Amino acid sequence: MATIEHLSSDSLGRARANRRTGPARLAWLCALSWLLAACATTAGPRPRAYAPPTAVTSSTILQPPALPTQVELDYLARAKTPAALLRRAWLELLVRRPQAALDSAAQVLYGPFPPSANDESFARYLRAQAWTQLGKAERGQYDRERAAELAMDVELRRLLLADSAPAEASAPKLASLDLALQDRATWKARAVVRKELKPMTPITRLTIHHSAMYFRDTRPAACAAQILRIQHEHMQGRGYGDIGYHFLIDPSGRIWKGRGLEWQGAHADGDNNVGNVGICLLGNFLRGRSGQGPTAAQVESMQRLVVGLMRKYRIDAEAIYCHKDLKPTECPGPLMVPVVNQMVRELQRHGTARFADLAAGL
């Protein structure tokens, strides 16, 4: 009986303790619940996962940002599909970075694989818009016309139609686009060794090269130093009478005079140099960490120079070569070869009329 009374006394004590601590515990639990709810409200919903576009349509490429613009650009930074690159170009235009937009669109046009007609139409449209932002709408005229030819997307065709009238009105005469060339004195060229040079025969073809050295600098002094370095290597290391190339194009698109056209070049090996103009783009256009792609400015300047030479010397599109077409070499690199091939295809289809007439500048 004493045990029962003892148990009853303990139970009664616990009950009284619970009555004293119960309200405090309840208040603590309520406060914790309120704090958790407040934190959840402040934090907001988790950001949704972002997936780069996979299809190239106006609804996936030309739409307002799904996230803050720079955040979406960061997501797209490593994506290399045509849809992702075109979306990136559009977003760059929205934040007024037209040169970056040109570079992204160029990766679609001049990447390792030829673009589909649909992909090219969007890339050309975005390039035209980028040139307009740069205040050089006339330089995007060919891109605009080409996009209109290829466009299958209904909304893109509507945008191009709306854009065609002002672009057409502002387009200058082709003859007004002269080709600016940097003279040999600009890069402090060494005097030629005439006994090592051969007179040029009638010009019938031209060949595209890369310098095979990684180079992204756009400063005139740095570009001049790079060209002088090439001349030194050609004359001292190979015994040439001058730099081997007739023209060189730096990453900013400047075209530099190399060996005079009165002299046969030393760029394509032996008899391949006969009647052959050598054009070298500064850079190493191989794949991999030590490689790089040509800039949009380089590609455009190459096109303009090639067309000027074609018109001046009546060269056929079929006589435009990559160095690798003439001897076993990777030159001008797998990131450049498709660019040249596409240019040749366009020249074969349309002739030089769709490119600026630059022969007067030569």
What CATH class is the domain 58-172?
mainly alpha
Q: What is the pLDDT of residues 269-288, one digit of tens each?
A: 899 999 999 999 999 999 87
The backbone torsions φ and ψ at residue 206, rounded to the nearest 5 degrees and listed phi first, read -150, 155
> Of 31-40, 218-227, 242-251, 292-301, where does mean pLDDT reach its minimum?
31-40
Mean pLDDT of 205-233: 95
Q: At CB < 8 A and 24+ separation, what contacts does 232-240 make?
A: 232/190, 234/266, 235/190, 235/193, 238/266, 239/196, 240/196, 240/266
Q: What is the pLDDT of residues 43-84, one digit of tens each?
A: 444 445 778 889 999 999 998 887 888 888 888 888 889 999
Q: State residue 264's pLDDT score.
A: 96
- Does the pLDDT at position 162 exceed 60? yes
Q: State residue 42's pLDDT score.
A: 43
Q: How high is the mean pLDDT of the chain?
A: 82
The string of DSSP codes covering 36-77 is: HHHHHHHH-SPPPP-----S-SHHHHSS--SS-HHHHHHHHT
Tell me the domain boundaries of the chain. Answer: 58-172, 181-361
Between these two residues, 173 and 12, which has the higher pLDDT value?
12
3-state DSSP assignment of residue 95: coil
Spell out the residues 6+ positions from residue 228 whose beta carbon is closer than 8 angstroms to its own.
187, 188, 189, 190
Cα distance between residue 253 and residue 248, in whole Å: 10
> Of 24-28, 81-85, 178-182, 185-189, where does mean pLDDT reach its minimum?
24-28
Cα distance between residue 31 and residue 26, in whole Å: 9
Which CATH code, of 1.10.3720.10, 3.40.50.1000, 3.40.80.10, 3.40.50.300, is assigned to 181-361? 3.40.80.10
Neighbours of 191 (CB within 10 A): 7
The string of DSSP codes covering 97-111 is: -HHHHHHHHHHHHSS
